[in-house]
Structures are given as structure tokens and as C-alpha cells.
Structure 1
């Protein structure tokens, strides 16, 4: 996927001005593309990465090129404390609200020769792809409920 979002659309049809988005795995690939489309649509974006800091910096720079703010956070989404910190840091940086959360992070592992793989390699794929997605969904759902209650009161 090209990271040049503007080449795919001559006029942006989405208006998300000043909304706050978090995109896990936004240091490359689909996650980077989503983060850039959100920035082009007006969002400020928390760029999440696990290992590719250079890619996260590149994504953040492109977000700034769209005139939007970014925050870069290294996170292992399979670790509940790190996901809590991700949400807390985003809230602190962007006026105590999150409007959009994209669960994009995932790993595939290299299982071409499964005979040579350790079970812990398989467990890591599940920890990130299944448990990590669950943790992110659970914790952001709690935050969304809190934000809605604050709006009502």
C-alpha cells in the first residue's frame, strides 16, 4: 500500500477535524495508511509501534505534513499495563479524549518450516493478535464509556 494517501483521492470526503485517533501498528503498511488517511481527514493521531521506531517517525512526519499533531508511543499490545499507558498518554496529550481506536497491530511469524519453530513462537502470535486485540478493545471500551458519562453529566 502506498503511503501517499493523497494520490488515492483527489478530494477528501471525510471531515474528522480535531478528532483524536489511535492506530496500533501504524509504523508501516496498512496501519500507516490508515493513520495518514485519518490525518488527511483532520485527526490528530497517536502512532503506535513495537519495534520499528524509524517507521513510526516517518508516519508522524507525514501526519505533521497534513498539519495535524501526532504522538509516538512504543507499545506491546499484549501487555495490559502498556495498553493502559498508551491510553493514558494519549488522553494526557490530546485534551482527555479519544474518538477513534484502530486495532491494526499484528504479527504473522515465520511458520514456513513449522518443524523448526518453538511453541513459544506460536504463543507470541496469539498473544499479540488475539490477546492484544482483546486488551485494546476492552480498555478503550472502558474509556469510551467514561467519556460518554462525562458528556451526559
Structure 2
């Protein structure tokens, strides 16, 4: 795969790599020279297709499966990735998440926890497990959480998701503080609306509103998020930690009055 070799020699784990943003991140990491472990929960076929594409282009890829709502699964996935990398894991991208819509007034605690456990608790557990590997290796490593602009710009029916993503941003800042002395950098990427197949038909008015609001005039692409993750995992960001990189085409810069 062609690239500038920004991640040459790295071993990266991308969670939720079976589709959409995760696919874009995994492909960009491979293009920049990283060996990539693609985690998925149910999208095994899709993750396998991405891994095959990476291998066919001369890269290295492995697919691992598991439900990251379970702490022991988070640790097992990280362990499997490091074992495949001959004991090394230099980059973790915590991308796995869910985004159901539900009115706050009728939400149950179980429904709240289902989102928080997948979007936030998995980030904590995977990061903790990865840090144990990274702290023992020369050069440390990097961790990037995929947050959202909804961490600071709430949307109706997304209260559980918005709260979890806001916590993800603060987790990264806290982890950056504590893991920094161990050579581990922790950041977040906060995407705006990212295009996926069928979105134009499912939510045409929302897509039109976004395109009008974005100074760049378009929706994001998975590779746009991947580019941000590549930067944060590369040597170009060696002095960047505790930072939230917003990738939203400029929507957050638009005044609300």
C-alpha cells in the first residue's frame, strides 16, 4: 500500500475496524507502513475483507473478534494483538462504539449502561491493557480515542452517547497526564458527520443541513479521520498528548447566533 511510511515498523490495534470509520483508520495505518490488528464484534466478514485488501497490497493484518463491553475481552484482544506483534504494540485506536437514539426521559439505566460500557468503559480497559505493554517497550506508544463533536455539541436523542464521548475526551486528558512519564501519549479525534453508504437516503435533510453548515461544503470521509489518527500515532506528534483533534470540516467554527 502506498504512503509516506509515517508508521513504518509500528504494530497497531484498531477496535471496531469492520466498517465505516474503523475501516478507514485501518487502511490508512496500513498505507503508512503499520502492521494492523483489526478488531470487530460482529462484522467479521467486513473486517476480513479489509485485512485481505491490506495483505494483497503487501501489508500485514490480523482480525480478532470480541465484545469490548466485557473487561476480560478487552484485555484478551490487546494481548492477542501484542502476541501477534512479537510482544510489541505501538499504537492503539479505540474506535469501537455504538450510537443508538433514545429519548432521555424514557431511557432505562440498562440502556444507558449499554452505551457507556461500549463507548467509554472499553476505552478505559483497552487503554489500561495496552499501556502495560507499551510501558515495557522502547519508545513507548500512542493511544488515540475516537470521540465526537457531540462531546461538546449535544444532539437530541443522543444524551447517553454525548455523555460517554465527553467522558472519553476527559479520559484521554487524564491518561495523558498519568501515562506521559512512561512514554505513552494519549489523544482523541472528534469527528463530525462522516459519510457512509445509505446515509443520503436515510437522512437526506440532515446531510443537506450539514453540507450547508460546513465551511468545506461536504461530509467527512473515513480516511479523513484516519489521517488524523495517523498523525497522532506518528513521530510528527511526538510532543502532542492530551489533545482533542476536531475533524469536522469546520462545522464547530460556525457561529450559533
TM range (shorter): 0.7 to 0.9
Q: Unpaired runs of 5+ in structure 2?
A: 141-257
- Say which SS state the counterpart of residue 130 (structure 1) adopts: helix
- Say which SS state the counterpart of residue 18 (structure 1) adopts: coil
| 2:130 counterpart residue number | 140
The TM-score, its normalising length taken from structure 1, stands at: 0.81
Matched, 1:121 2:111: yes
Q: How many angstroms apart in 2 are the aligned matches of 1:17 and 1:132?
A: 27
| 1:3 counterpart residue number | none
| 2:74 counterpart residue number | 83
Q: What RMSD, in angstroms, separates the aligned Cα atoms of the two structures?
A: 2.2
Deviations 1:104-139 (A, max 9, x none): 11111232x556654312210000111111111111
Q: Report matched runs for 1:4-153 at 5 Å.
A: 12-111=3-102, 118-148=108-138
The TM-score, its normalising length taken from structure 2, stands at: 0.50
Q: How many angstroms apart in 1 are the aligned matches of 2:36 and 2:98?
A: 22
- Say which SS state the counterpart of residue 146 (structure 1) adopts: coil
Q: Unpaired runs of 5+ in structure 1?
A: 1-5
Q: CA contact under 8 A between 2:82 and 2:133: conserved in structure 1?
A: no
Q: CA contact under 8 A between 1:25 and 1:31: conserved in structure 2?
A: yes
Q: Work out which of the two has the higher radius of gyration on C-alpha atoms and give 1 or 2.
A: 2
**How far 1:146 sits from its partner (Å)?**
1.8
Number of residues paired by the alignment? 140
